[in-house]
Amino acid sequence: GQNIDQPTEMTATEGAIVQINCTYQTSGFNGLFWYQQHAGEAPTFLSYNVLDGLEEKGRFSSFLSRSKGYSYLLLKELQMKDSASYLCAVRDGDYQLIWGAGTKLIIKP
């Protein structure tokens, strides 16, 4: 079966760096997405990786290793507003989007 794994919850301190991991097992691969979802709100797009390597976008970076079925989202200079759930999603060989359950990130002062 197809599976996306990410930690259920993580805690970090304001101003610090946090890495949220995502591992996947899918039938084929056509890209990996990260979305941010604040409590009670809709998911919003953060990043897209289809080739191996690091994509940097301001304080957020996303890394992909297709051979390892692994990605991470790196958040630098954490701010209180970064408290949210982070959803990993993989587009499989049939271009179907498979979603992880999300990682709830708690930022403490």
- Closest distance between another protein and the C-beta of residue 4, in Å? 7
List the x/- string, 58-77, binding to another protein by CB under 8 A.
Answer: --------------------
Q: Which of 12, 20, 26, 33 binds another protein (CB under 8 A)?
A: 33
- Closest distance between another protein and the C-beta of residue 33, in Å? 7
Residue type, 6: Q
Q: Is 24 in the site for another protein (CB under 8 A)?
A: no
Answer yes or no: are the C-beta atoms of 52 and 32 closer than 8 Å: no
Q: Is 22 in the site for another protein (CB under 8 A)?
A: no
H or E element at residue 65: strand 60-65
Length of the chain: 109
Residue (69 or 100) nearer to another protein, CB: 100
Which residue has tokens 């982070």?
86
What distance in Å separates the CA atoms of residue 15 and residue 4, rounded to the nearest whole number?
Answer: 29
Closest of 82, 84, 100 to residue 3, by C-alpha: 100
Residue numbers at the binding site for another protein (CB under 8 A): 4, 30-31, 33, 35, 41-45, 48, 50, 87, 89, 91, 95-102
